[in-house]
Structure 1
Amino acid sequence: MTKTPPVGWNRHTIKAAIGIAGLTMAAIAKGAGIEPWQVRHGLRGNNRTGAEAIAKALGLPFRTLFHDSYLNGGADLAQPIQKQAGRASQNARAAADRAQRAS
């Protein structure tokens, strides 16, 4: 009995496509202005920013490559995640909101 390969994209086929395109994960990271670990983790399903960089570098829609990944927390949106300008804690933002309402 022969085993048929799975249909669609997985981390192995994505990594092969990166190589076929003449790219490396380090080059993708550099082109996207992110750290190489983010691309490696994106390939495994642990970093949305890295996964978006891979899809952009390959010229394929994000949802095509990562069809069953990044589905929680609104990560399945068609638009990439926007970086926030500041890294204030939720408590600091809540305090600022309360102060604004009080004035």
Structure 2
Amino acid sequence: MTTTKKWDRRTIKEELLRQNKTLTGIARDAGLYDSACRAGMIGASRPGAEAIAKALGVPFREMFPDSYTLGRHDDGETSSNNKQRSSQKRDAAADRVRGAA
């Protein structure tokens, strides 16, 4: 039976200590502002939370299953609009006729 680890603030901090990492260091390494990962721990910065999960080698959804709403990048999609865009206007010639009149 495989059980996934329950990630909460305490277990995240314990794992950070075990790996000799800091929230500020993770944020800086990810190119974020210094307190981004601290904000990520309380649900106020998704990029900070993503940086923590990546630094600890844990899938984001496993570490923060309920803290952030699902985004377009959670299921591998790179675009929120997968349909080909088509022009709003059916016939541009109609505009030219109206403009000439």
Which sections of structure 1, spanning at least 5 residues, go unmatched? 1-6, 82-101
2:52 corresponds to = 54
TM value normalised by structure 1: 0.62
In our comparison, the structure showing a higher alpha carbon Rg is: 2
Moved over 6 A (4+): none
Is the contact made by 1:25 and 1:40 (CA closer than 8 Å) also made in structure 2?
Answer: yes
**Number of paired residues?**
74
Which sections of structure 2, spanning at least 5 residues, go unmatched? 79-94, 96-101
Equivalent position to 1:77, from 74, 87, 93:
74
- 1:35 corresponds to which letter in structure 2? Y
Identical residues among aligned pairs (%): 43
TM value normalised by structure 2: 0.63
Q: 1:75 to 1:66 in 2, by over 3 A?
A: farther
Q: What is the root-mean-square deviation in Å for CA atoms of aligned residues?
A: 2.4
- Structure with greater helix percent: 1
